[in-house]
Structure 1
Amino acid sequence: MALAAGAILLIGTGYTSARVNSDAMDPTYSPGEVVFLERVDAGAIERGDVVLYRTENRYEGMAVLQRVIGMGGDHVRQSPGGPVTVNEKPLVEPYLKDSGPSGVVRAYDVVVPEGRLFLLGDHRANANDSRFFLTEQSGSIAATAVRARTLDSHTGLLMLASTALLGLLLAAGGLAAGIVSWVKRRAGRSLMR
């Protein structure tokens, strides 16, 4: 009962979780790790967010976790071995695997169409991200394809603990109300005899 109440509350609040299936976001998120997410509208997405999205024409329609590098109107480019630049400013990317711009298959230079996002994995050498779809609207995806964005681990754990506690409190309250009701019915029957 408490788990059901907690699950209903979790769904109703706009938070969810997902298990990481690849190392494309390593070291930020490792395979098997559970990440906590909040559902967001396209207008709430910001550069640097790690988002969960799903598109029909990529990854067999499966949900994918990647980092937002560019947004509508941004000029994103990278030369082999060089840093990613957004609007001519090099990105500082401390989250990258091996602390370098590894995994560049070829140079790219795109302007992200309005309403769309350019996404990269943190483990560039093992991420099948926007760089591999450059012929499809500059490798971008529609911002509306985003289902949720990750929460930092402390927020996620706090949210999960709060949800579980509230679920337990609701279950205890329901159980107490049921016992009180049962006792009153029993007492009422005893008085009638």
Structure 2
Amino acid sequence: MGRAGRGRGLRVAGWILGVVGVAAAVGAGLVLRDGYTTAVEAGPAMEPTYTPGDRLFLEKLAEADGGDVRRGDVVAFRMPDAEGGEVVGGSGSWVGSGLQRVVGVGGDRVAFDGTKLTVNGTPVRESYVKGGDPGRGGERYDVKVPPGRVFLLGDNRANSLDSRYFTSEQSGTVSLGAVSARVLDSAAAPVALGVGSLTGVVLGLGGAGCLVAGYMLRGRRTESAWR
């Protein structure tokens, strides 16, 4: 193949690599930006599952995706009040935001008799609870979770401000609209998207290099033709 053929082949390869690379970098980057985030656990409410300083990967949840929240999920929640602060609960007495575990969803009956937690009459095996004692720091309750809301508890029952303490306000529950993200068990998905975006950048740069080389070869051919 002559120099002209090599130059044409490099230019074609450059355009292909460039288009594929830009599409991969932008597509994976947008999905990563819009679908995932990270957070650092600040308090002790979720010990021993997560400890202060742990960096967590979270899947963002749109309000329309609230129905996808399941029992056992650890979620991030926030509810702004009229003054811009953060409150959870009907009257605004539960102030704050953070990470807690979903124990009950709309329609569930959540009860604690002082020794065990039950959901719809079935005992819940809470191997994640700190100290193995689900009763630490809590009082007895028996509530029905309203539709479109979730009942939240911290894994560190002795040091968690959660649904147990506000059962007189919407049964202590939080609106699904206040749930912004779910903690991922694995960082595989966001890491894969990050790698995909980086690979796209590399392909795009490779394509640009091929285009430069291809046009340089064509320029040399044109120059030699006039000699």
Does the CA-based 8 Å contact 2:71-2:104 persist in structure 1?
A: yes
2:102 is equivalent to residue 68 of structure 1: yes
2:84 is equivalent to residue 84 of structure 1: no
2:68 is equivalent to residue 44 of structure 1: yes
Please, what TM-score do these two structures have when normalized by structure 1?
0.83
Q: Which has the larger radius of gyration?
A: 2
3-state SS of paired residue (1:31): coil
Residue in structure 2 matched with residue 11 of structure 1 by the alignment: 33
Identity between Structure 1 and Structure 2 (%): 40
Moved >6 Å (runs of 4+):
none
Residue in structure 2 matched with residue 144 of structure 1 by the alignment: 177
Does the CA-based 8 Å contact 2:32-2:194 persist in structure 1?
A: no
1:31 Cα deviation (Å)? Answer: 1.2
Residue in structure 1 matched with residue 145 of structure 2 by the alignment: 112
Structure 2 segments unaligned to the other structure (5+ residues): 1-24, 81-86, 89-93
Aligned length, in residue pairs: 184
What's the RMSD between the two structures over aligned residues? 2.3
- Pair 136,160 (structure 1): closer, same or farther in 2 beyond 3 Å: same
Larger relative contact order (Cα-Cα within 8 Å, sequence gap ≥ 6): 2
1:60 Cα deviation (Å)? Answer: 5.4
- Pair 166,19 (structure 1): closer, same or farther in 2 beyond 3 Å: same
Instruction: Give CA-to-partner distance per residue, 1:60-103, whole Å, 9 cap, x none.
Output: 564x21111111121212133x1112122221100100011143
2:160 is equivalent to residue 130 of structure 1: no
